[in-house]
A and B are shown apart, each in its own frame.
Chain A
Amino acid sequence: EAQVTQNPRYLITVTGKKLTVTCSQNMNHEYMSWYRQDPGLGLRQIYYSMNVEVTDKGDVPEGYKVSRKEKRNFPLILESPSPNQTSLYFCASSYGRNTEAFFGQGTRLTVV
């Protein structure tokens, strides 16, 4: 089954404790993105990757890091999470930057 898998689905953590949210796709897509979704602000792109070892900043990259060592995986790293990073996070993948995006089920992160 074609899918994008994110883990964990829910996470509560404390300020400053490094965390990683994993994302994996099995569709051989080259393009992957991370978004955060907040009430009233919609989906905002954090980082994107056009291919292995090629990543770039989206609209709201501050406080986040990503890596793309393999085509299928695109982890999101919060080195020192803060409460303003409490949000619903989605990973997405697609064949290209302008084609249909497939989303993971989301990760609800709470930073206290």
Chain B
Amino acid sequence: RKEVEQDPGPFNVPEGATVAFNCTYSNSASQSFFWYRQDCRKEPKLLMSVYSSGNEDGRFTAQLNRASQYISLLIRDSKLSDSATYLCVVNSYSGGGADGLTFGKGTHLIIQP
């Protein structure tokens, strides 16, 4: 089972619409969760951290469901500038192989005028 799974999309959404996507993670001991945004061929940048109680930053809302091991991102009133790839990120542990943060492969979002 992959550590962090996301629907790759693309999600084609009209400007102004609300869009939501989820990500599932396999390590039940994970404690840190993030959403990153990556524009084409650019570096990933933190969009928001995800807290157990859920959190909101302007038009963006992130939720964490520990029981079902998934994280969601909701974007309201979508803008053309929201077009990007959104990476779900979860911490992993050392003990052979990758350490630190594990990145999902990303969900590609296209906002259409």
Report if A and B associate in a common complex: yes
A contact set with B: CB distance below 8 Å: 31, 33, 35, 40-45, 48, 56-59, 88, 90, 94, 97-106, 108
Neighbour of B42 across the interface among A42, A57, A105, CB < 8 A? A105
How many A-B residue pairs lie within 8 Å, measured between CB atoms?
63
Question: From DSSP, what is the main secondary structure of chain A's interface residues?
Answer: strand
CB distance from A31 to the nearest CB of B (A): 7
B43 in contact with A105 (CB, 8 Å): yes
**Chain B residues with CB below 8 A from A105, complex form:** 42-43
B43 adjacent to A90 (CB under 8 Å): yes
Chain A residues with CB under 8 Å of B45's CB are 103
What separation, in Å, do the CA atoms of A34 and B85 have in the docked complex? 20
* B94 interface contact, C-beta 8 A: yes
Report the 9 A-B pairs with minimum CB-CB distance, sorted nearest first.
A42-B105, A103-B43, A98-B91, A97-B100, A43-B103, A98-B32, A45-B98, A59-B98, A58-B98
B interface residues, tally (CB under 8 Å): 22
**Residues of chain B contacted by A35 (CB below 8 angstroms):** 103
Which B residues between 80 and 113 are near A, CB-CB below 8 angstroms? 87, 91, 94, 97-101, 103-106
> Which of A43, A44, A45, A108 lies in contact with B44, CB distance below 8 A?
A43
In angstroms, Cα B87 to Cα A41, docked, is: 12
* Chain A residues, Cβ within 8 Å of B49: 100
Give the residue name and chain of the A residue nearest to B30 (CB): A98
For residue A54, give the distance in angstroms from its CB to the closest CB of chain B. Answer: 11
B41 contacts partner chain A, Cβ-Cβ < 8 Å: yes
Residues on A with beta carbons closer than 8 Å to the beta carbon of B91: 97-98
Contact between B99 and A58 (Cβ–Cβ < 8 Å)? yes
The complex places the Cα of A104 from the Cα of B45 at a distance, in Å, of: 10
